[in-house]
Chains A and B, each alone.
Chain A
Amino acid sequence: MFRNQQRGSVLLSGVLVVVLSAAPAASQQRGAPAAPPGPTAEQAMAALHSAQETAEELGVSLSCAVVDSRGDLIALARMDGARFYTTDVARGKARISALFGQPSGDMADFGSSPAFQSFNETLSGPLYPFQGALPIMRGDDVIGAMGCSGAASQVDEDAVRAALAVFGDSR
């Protein structure tokens, strides 16, 4: 009986570990209250200019947004010809990327879970778990995120990746 209980609790904790480590929040969401200083406004605007250059080279019109580690907007730009709602999508992708410290493209499965819906409601702002935003890292710390929207999501992400060097993030 005792052994069975023990085995049960071992099993249960095993399941818990698996569930927790599978949750996107578990891996990178560290020290949110004592957040490291985020990207500066100057860096954010330079990154937007960089993404614009990439977009112009590729012949696409994007909206891009830079947020801090709490997901709050620092700077945003909508290129001429980009659809009006791409601002919200760029911001929402950047936000979820900053909050979880992961590329928004890795969060698609989480996006279809009921947990995501309640999370989205709690934060009372749109989170978009689609490809096109990457976290901005300083060492191991997530200091913010940048997201773009307006083209194929891989192109959105490529424009972000090319701009990350502005923040001293050389991935």
Chain B
Amino acid sequence: MNQIKRIGRALLFLLVGGGLAGPAGATAQDSSARLTLSEAQAIVEAAQRDATSKNLRLSIAVVDGRGDLIAATRMEDARATTMDTAIGKAMGSAIFGRPSADLAADSGSPLYQDLNEAAGGRLRFFQGAVPIVRDGFTVGAVGASGASSQDDEDNVKAALTAVGL
């Protein structure tokens, strides 16, 4: 019974999440548009360099267009809990195709709560993650956590600029 419920939720998640994702209204299905691990790791490393230069200690996570984790790192002295926050912000940002800061205002709505339940309660609707867009498609998102939300967001934007995305 529980399993049926879970499958139902997952379906809802796919339908609603798929419908909302991406500035172009779609996530990339084309394999050439997908984010690779080496790209994801380059983004994480660029974010780490930016954080080090600003004396910040962050967790950084990159997810694909479906919100599934590709790469994550927690820097030395970043709090352990920052990791799941970084992942959760990135997941929300990828699924909605919007900066997680834009999602904060609506995060109390039943739709967002249902989506989060379908995602196993992992989504975090706080500033600090932005979508990764290629050819008009949301191919993923990168999120950071560990500093002020504004610093988190500035960090991931700087990382994307550094790698040319």
Chain A residues engaging chain B, CB cutoff 8 angstroms: 40-41, 44-45, 52, 68, 70, 72-80, 84, 87
Contacts and interface: CB of A to CB of B under 8 A. Distances in A.
Interface residues of B, number: 20
B73 A78 contact: no
Name the 8 nearest CB pairs between A and B, nearest first.
A72-B80, A84-B68, A75-B73, A87-B69, A76-B72, A73-B83, A77-B71, A78-B70
A12 to B, nearest CB: 39
Contacts of B37: 52, 77-80
A41 B75 contact: yes
B66 A75 contact: no
A76 B41 CA distance: 10
Interface of B: 34, 36-37, 40-41, 48, 64, 66, 68-76, 80, 83-84
B76 A41 contact: yes
A52 B37 CA distance: 10
Contacts of A45: 41, 73
A134 to B, nearest CB: 20
B76 A73 contact: no
A75 B60 CA distance: 9
Contact of A77 (B66, B70, B80): B70
B119 to A, nearest CB: 12
A74 B69 CA distance: 14
A73 B68 contact: no
B88 to A, nearest CB: 13
B71 A76 contact: yes
A76 B72 CA distance: 5
Contacts of A76: 69, 71-73
